[in-house]
Structures are given as C-alpha cells and as structure tokens.
Amino acid sequence: MTSTARAQKAPDTRGPVRRLLTSFGFQILASLVLGIAVGLIGVSLGASGTNPTVLSDVLDRIGSSYVTLLRAAVVPLIFTAIVASISNLRRVQNAARLAGQTILWFAITAFIAVSIAIVLGLVIQPGSKAGEGLETGAPYTVGSWWNFLLGLIPQNFLGLTVSTGPGATDGSYSSSVGFNILQVIVVAAVVGIAALKAGKKAEPFLAFTESLLKIIQRVLWWIIRIAPIGTFGLIGSAVIKYGWDRLTALAWFAGAIYIGLALVLFVVYPIIVKTHGLSIKQYFSGVWPAVQLGFVSRSSIGTLPLTERVTERNLGVPRGYASFAVPLGATTKMDGCAAIYPAIAAIFVAQFFGIDLNFVQYLLIVIVSVVGSAATAGTTGAIVMLTLTLSTLGLPLEGVGLLLAIDPILDMGRTAVNVAGQALVPTIVAKREGILDEELYNAPRNGLPFAEEIDDADAAEPESGKTPAVTR
C-alpha cells in the first residue's frame, strides 16, 4: 500500500494553558462537568422530566439539535465512504482477508463480552435483588430474526422511510423522514461492487464519489468542532430528565451492567491491545474523544464521523480500510448494546420471574449476542437486541418494561463501549496485516483529535521538478 507522505506540521508554539484549553478532550470533559452542574441546578429549581422549565427546555434543544446535525450527515457519509472504500479495494491485494479478519474479531470480542456478562449475571444475581415498585410492561418494539432478514432488503435507493401522523394538539399532520442504516450499507456495498465491475466506464462516478466524500468530511469537521456545546446540552438535559434516584430500584442491575462495561473497556480491550504489541496509553488517548462523545450522545451512528476520524488520524488505520470497517462496526459491533446488556438483562428477567435457565439457554445467549448484533442496526439498539434475546430464550417480553425506566442512563455506558470497540478492531486488524501506521499511532496527542489540516490525499502539489515522498 502506498500513500503520499503527510505534510509536516509547524512546531507547536502554544503555551501549556492555551494547549489545554484548545484540547478537544479537555473541552468535552469541561462540558460534561458544566452540563452536570447546570442540570443539578435545574433539578434544585424544580425541573424534571415531567415538569419542564425554561432551563430544561433550552438544554434539551441544544443537545437534540446537535445530535440531529450529526445524524443528518450520517447517510451521505456512509454511502460515499463505503462506495469509495470498496473502489479503493482494487488497489489492495488482501481486501477479502481484511474483511474476513474484521468480522472474525467482531465475533471474538463479542464472545468475550457476553461471557463476562453471563458470569456477572450469575454472581451478582440482579433479578433476585430488584427493589420494590417495579411494574412489568410490554416493549414498544420487538426484534426478531425474520424482521432482521427482511430489514436487509432496501425499501428504496437509500433505505429512507417517511412516516406521517396527526399532531399532538391541533390535529394537523406532520411527516418525518428516517433511514435504516443497515439498508444504506447494503445499497452502498452493491453500488460499490457494481462500479468495480463496470471498469473504466465507472471512473467518473468513482471520482465524483471521492470528491463528495471529501466535502462531507469537511462539513463533519465543522459539526464536530462544536461538540462541546452539544455535550453541555445533552448531559445537562439527561441529569434533569432521568436523575440518579431512578437507579434505586434497579441498583444491582445497573451496577452489574456498568461493572461489565468497565471490565470490557478497561481490562479486555487493553489486554488485546497489549498482546498485539501496541501501547495501551496511546490507544485510550487516541480513541477517548470518540468515547466521550458516544457517552453523552448515546448514539454510535451519531458518533460515527468522529470514531472514523480518530481511528484514522490518531490510531493510524489506513483511510481506505477505516472507511469500510468503522461504518460496518457502527451497525454491527456493539459489545455494550448487543453483548453485555442483553445477556445480563435476560438473566435479570429470568431471575425476576423465577425461571431457571439451563445450559442450552445460556449457550443461546452467546449465539444471539455474537450473531445477532446486526439486528440492532437502524432500529432502537439495545431494546430490540434484548427482545430478540428474550424471544429466542422463551422468556416473558413483559420483562423489558421493568428496565425501560433507567435505559437512558445505561445507554450512555453501553454506547461508550460500543464506540471504543468500533475503533479497536480496525486497529488490531491493521496491525496484524502490517498496514498500521505505528508512527502515527505512537505520536503525541496534541489538542484536537484531528487538526484542520491538509489531508494526506489533498496535500499541496509539489514544487516543479520535485516528486512527493511515498511511504509503505
């Protein structure tokens, strides 16, 4: 693999205070702290999920508007990134091997995560320690293997859906547009493969797609630059809406979930990184901006632009491979939502209703978590995965209603782990295949996760008579 050498950066002459203040990680952390403080102030003034105030409304608008901005760019990003990455595979000799290794490591890490979850569920016994006042209820959406298979069939060119319904007060009708991200991936993959088969006649289309991808990435850069503002609104609104008092009745369950998430993020992932000869510190410092954004946004898809950028710019994964592996991981690589959570939740439901699980049912939990992760794509994430697990095990679906009250609080941790894993696997596979830029991986982390600098492929044209340097 060859690529034009990165342009040399000018020496960083900023002082330590300015360097800290302009650090993306510091800005996100400061926004988290400030958002929590303002949220607590709102609670002390009487704001809650059922009693909104001006402050809670402002925080909610700020946070939801930022997530909307991120999601608006997801469809064009995924489509152009996958088409461009597939077209780039013609220049790579081991494309099929890269794809196979990626899927294999998705399965390996999911197996480890679900195994940890089952052990925690059996040791902690969260269902036997549930507090009083829990009410069972039916889930608002149910996942099934049949629906997952049908969901792979695109309803239209980009898997877009339009729903229309009456307004809440005046009876007028309003429409909203959604998308199935798994269908977008299917369409993009088919288009990319077809463009490869078309040969030279598809060159103008591929050139246009790559140019469009550059434009979208620039727009995403502008959106992510204002992430601290969105973080402030999201975390402040979450404190007011949900509060920590709602954890009381399900404290053991929430504790088991977060212990499992912590073990995967801070034990399993570092062991995998270390066994591949990479620095644990560099991995965390590289991926942490995306993990922070995932925690507050509660959306792997919404965090996808930043996850892909830190995987490429901080962790040294080649762009062509990262643009394939990270979007795929954002829909199918969910150790938090599809492994830790459904496994512990299924055991919780069984214990709560006094149902003894046998070895075969525990084995089914493992199989569903490893194979069924893609069922969460483009739907409602962990809830669909949980209903899929419960229906496969024959457990009462009413148990889902027990856990919905604190789902947003759990979803923060789940998404953070999802994002960390979505960056980990491409890094490990790139290392194993000898295409990881270890110099970039080990480089100091200065400020923003990706500076607004000239991209490798967009480097300024060399002076007359000079040839650009080539690496790898």
Tell me if 425 sits within 8 A of 106, measured CB to CB: yes
Q: Where do we find the tokens 């102030």?
A: 41
**Interval 264-277: pLDDT, tens:** 999 999 999 999 99
pLDDT less than 70: residues of the chain: 1-25, 49, 88-93, 131-182, 242-249, 372-384, 398-399, 401-402, 404-405, 446-472
Would you tell me how many other CB atoms lie within 10 Å of the CB of residue 317?
29
pLDDT at 271: 97
The pLDDT score that the predictor gives to residue 380 is 44
Which pLDDT value is given to residue 457?
41
Q: Smallest Cα–Cα separation from 378: which of 194, 198, 159, 87?
A: 159
- Phi, psi for residue 306 in degrees, rounded to 5: -75, -40
For tokens 């909307």, name the residue: 68
Q: What backbone phi and psi angles, to 5 degrees, belong to 165?
A: -150, 165
Q: Residue 257 in contact with residue 413, Cβ under 8 Å?
A: yes
Tokens describing residue 40: 């607590």
Q: Which helix (H) or strand (E) holds 150?
A: helix 145-151
